[in-house]
């Protein structure tokens, strides 16, 4: 495994991030624990989760699965850089309309971090991430709450997720004016070959402010994982958003061109999609969310995959990026 520093911090993290959203809803606890053990064996030390994972009546279940894994000992917790998120509504079922159980008020941040620590069975969270922009809470209040948590030793760093470029700038400018916290150190954004809008402003803002970029959905819901090839070979068929996308003839032709390019070079689509992200400026490492140990093994191979200039050029031709702003939409 290769490692890099998370943005401008001194924290060293693996170039792949283990995403845990499938733990509980799609992968049972025993298999989830096996995947986390395999991730550590492969050198992956950066694990990402969120308080709402498990979803619906099971929200919080994913954090509990991770907490039970930490409780097995073997220095599991010490080896992991643990990231979780706050924003989603965690009110008990039937109380969803009750106020102050979601978003980024100081009250909810305090409540949410203590609840996550309990589920995760740990005394601190390494990277505490804001899962979404809260348009109702000023950053002065958010940073006050974060300062307290850092002083209490409950969190070490703060990060964002799904923030536009101007909110990254606003958050860090206010943090700098207040003093105390060092501001955001990472941004977790939707970014992959088929969805490159983050290149316009989000990634440049992250680079300027020293945030590590952590792409989620690196295979774009499975579309970049060889979905057409699998259909032809009688394997798992596309479903959900991927199936809807492939129903569009133009989109299907684009994905077919992508797979044809990689077939020509003898490369696996899913591994290439991850390896491409690892070549992108500012990217710390993509989040991989394996449902099985086999999927994890494929993702790990991408770290050592070197893409030739021919392949990189071909990928840009199939999936042209928008370019940086303002040139992407102006002169």
Helical spans, DSSP H, in 223-292: 227-232, 240-246, 249-265, 269-278
Q: Assign residue 71 a region: left if phi > 0, alpha if psi is -120 to 50, beta otherwise?
A: alpha
Write the CB contacts of 39 (distance below 8 Å, at least 6 apart in sequence): 18, 47, 296
Report the distance separating Cα 271 and Cα 269, nearest Å: 6
Report the distance separating Cα 214 and Cα 198, nearest Å: 11
Report the distance separating Cα 283 and Cα 6, nearest Å: 9
53 is catalytic: yes
With beta carbons less than 8 A apart as the criterion, state whether 7 and 157 touch: no
DSSP structure string for 94-163? T-TTSTTSSTT-HHHHHHHHHHHHHHHT-S-EEEEEE-S--TTS-HHHHHHHHHHHHHHTSEEEEEEES-
Q: SS3 for 212?
A: strand
Residue with tokens 């999609």: 273
Name the DSSP letter for residue 237: P
Write the CB contacts of 123 (distance below 8 Å, at least 6 apart in sequence): 117, 153, 154
Active-site residue among 3, 53, 157, 209? Answer: 53
The helix-helix angle for 106-120 and 139-152 (nearest 10°) equals 40
How many other C-beta atoms can be found within 10 angstroms of the C-beta atom of residue 247? 10
How many other C-beta atoms can be found within 10 angstroms of the C-beta atom of residue 107? 14
Report the distance separating Cα 34 and Cα 32, nearest Å: 5
Catalytic machinery residues: 53
């Amino acid at each position: 495994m290769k490692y890099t520093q998370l943005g401008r911090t001194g924290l060293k993290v693996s170039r792949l991030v283990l995403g845990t959203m499938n733990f509980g809803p799609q992968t049972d606890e025993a298999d989830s624990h096996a995947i986390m053990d395999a991730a550590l064996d492969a050198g992956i030390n950066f694990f990402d989760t969120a308080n709402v994972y498990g979803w619906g009546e099971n929200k919080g279940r994913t954090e509990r699965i991770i907490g039970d894994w930490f409780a097995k000992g073997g220095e599991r917790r010490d080896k992991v850089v643990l990231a979780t998120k706050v924003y989603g509504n965690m009110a008990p079922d039937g109380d969803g309309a009750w106020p102050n159980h979601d978003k980024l008020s100081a009250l909810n941040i305090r409540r949410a971090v203590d609840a996550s620590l309990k589920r995760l069975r740990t005394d601190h969270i390494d990277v505490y991430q804001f899962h979404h922009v809260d348009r109702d809470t000023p950053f002065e209040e958010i940073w006050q709450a974060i300062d307290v948590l850092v002083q209490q030793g409950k969190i070490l760093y703060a990060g964002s997720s799904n923030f536009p470029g101007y909110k990254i700038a606003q958050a860090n400018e206010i943090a700098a004016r207040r003093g105390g916290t060092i501001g955001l150190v990472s941004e977790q954004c939707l970014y992959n070959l088929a969805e490159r809008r983050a290149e316009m402003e989000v990634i440049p803002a992250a680079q300027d402010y020293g945030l590590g970029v952590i792409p989620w959905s690196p295979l774009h819901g499975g579309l970049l994982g060889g979905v057409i090839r699998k259909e032809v070979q009688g394997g798992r068929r596309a479903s959900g958003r991927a199936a809807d996308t492939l129903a569009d003839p133009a989109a299907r032709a684009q994905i077919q061109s992508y797979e044809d390019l990689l077939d020509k070079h003898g490369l696996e689509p899913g591994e290439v999609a991850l390896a491409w992200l690892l070549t992108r400026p500012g990217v710390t490492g993509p989040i991989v969310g394996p449902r099985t140990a086999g999927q994890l093994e494929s993702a790990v191979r991408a770290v050592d995959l070197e893409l030739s200039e021919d392949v990189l050029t071909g990928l840009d031709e199939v999936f042209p990026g928008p370019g940086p702003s303002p040139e992407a939409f102006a002169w």
